[in-house]
Chains A and B, each alone.
Chain A
Amino acid sequence: MTEELTDQLRKVFVEALELPAEVDVENLKYRDIEQWDSLGHMTLVGAIEDEFGVQFDTEQVIDMSSFKVALDMLRGTSVDG
């Protein structure tokens, strides 16, 4: 289940940020790459919320500083069952 969630989130990151294949998504951090700037961040947040049917608080949106943090946030919302 955890692996499924990771795969699903990776896919959202790739699509929302239009990432090239060589990007190490799971170790990605905010502003590591050009695509994940503040505007890209809001697109990414919206895509994650849509995909997983969740809505993050403003503090969570601001704190979502890496793929790993995003994954932890989703686990915290019981997406991982």
Chain B
Amino acid sequence: MATWEPFEGFQALQREIASAFERASPHYHPTFRAAFLPGRAAREYPLINVYDEQDRVHVEALAPGADPSSFNITMIGRTLTISGEKPRVPGDVKPEAFHREERAAGRFNRSIDIPADVEQGEGLAGQYKNGLLLVSLPKSEKAKPKQIKVQVS
């Protein structure tokens, strides 16, 4: 005997709408890993990972094929700005010579907030390796974690 469920259709619709909203939310990313290579549609370039260590903050940016001499990295207060240029394919290639053109290119500029106070000066270091840019920022003294000793009475 089938149970009489007058709202079955309505509930199914409700589930569908809920899942549609879930998929639209920024926290749901089935294609997130696929979208990690910024194409033309990427709003922000380069994509950035921030690592928090005891005495340093590392910022890793995904910037393959950038011209290393074009990097301009500045730190003002807590704001880190990375700019640079990914050169296009050498100029004399005619548009009709392309079979495929999927890689994005051009100038980029991005600012992010660093989640800790950073020592300004000598300790700031940048490294460009295998298409990844790593900026290491030493934390200021007051931002470093303090050890608290527990005394046993």
To the question of whether A and B form a pair in one complex, the answer is no
